[in-house]
Amino acid sequence: MKNAIVSVSLRVLAIGLVGLSVGACVGNVSGQLTLPAEQATTASYYVQRHDKDSRDLASTIAQSMQKRGLQATAGVESARPADVAYVVTYVDKWMWDMRMYLYNLRIDVRDAKDMSIVGYGESMQSSLKAMGQTHEDIVDNALDKMFPR
């Protein structure tokens, strides 16, 4: 009887450990851009920094876009240039697991005229998956879906 109980317990433990290890390393990237490629590469973008962003992710996003050859600047909403074609907004969710890590970053691209959406990119990563990744890496992951390098 003892053996049977031990056997069942070990099986459950093994399944649990496999589940945990699979679940702990979760991450995914999604997104798309509906703009024609030529329009996307020649347009001007303004990354709008939100009030609670103490890390200035807006500048990181703009720099990553510039590295892709795009015309991008960053700043607060009130400083947005009137002639910019698209506004880039983002939602960053941070979590604590022995350090703060960027759990989810969602970047939206909207038409500056009416704020209608033209594309989005998102990168979600668990604590383990985020290990060794910088904010820049995660910004790159999210942008890759819209503006491939």
Partner 1 sequence: MNRSVRATHISALALLSLSLAGCAVGNRYDYGSSIAGLPITGTGKIAVSVVDARPYVLSGDKKPDFVGLQRGGFGNPFDVRTGSGQPLATEMRDAISTALQKQGFSVVAAAEPAPRKLELKVLEWKTDVMMRLKTLYDLELSVFDGSGALLAKSATKGEDVGGGGFESQNASNAAKSFELRLTELVRDPGVQKALGSPAN
Residues that bind partner 1 in the complex, under the rule CB under 8 A: 1, 4-5, 8-9, 11-12, 15-16, 19, 26-32, 34, 104, 106, 108, 110-111, 113-120, 122, 124
Residue 5, token pair as written in the block? 């109980």
> Letter for the amino acid at 141?
N
Name which of 74 and 121 has its Cβ closer to partner 1.
Answer: 121
Q: For residue 33, give Cα distances in angstroms to 89, 93, 134.
A: 14, 22, 24
Name which of 67 and 110 has its Cβ closer to partner 1.
Answer: 110
CB under 8 Å to 93, separation ≥6 — which residues? 102, 103, 104, 105
As measured in angstroms, the least distance from the Cβ of 57 to partner 1 is 18
Name which of 27 and 59 has its Cβ closer to partner 1.
Answer: 27
3-state secondary structure of 53: coil
As measured in angstroms, the least distance from the Cβ of 26 to partner 1 is 8
Name which of 124 and 138 has its Cβ closer to partner 1.
Answer: 124
- Interhelix angle 57-67/135-144, rounded to 10 degrees, is 50
Name which of 25 and 69 has its Cβ closer to partner 1.
Answer: 25
As measured in angstroms, the least distance from the Cβ of 34 to partner 1 is 6
As measured in angstroms, the least distance from the Cβ of 66 to partner 1 is 25
Q: For residue 55, give Cα distances in angstroms to 51, 67, 120, 134.
A: 11, 20, 21, 12
- Look at residues 147, 143, 91 and name the one whose alpha carbon lies nearest to residue 121: 143
As measured in angstroms, the least distance from the Cβ of 61 to partner 1 is 18
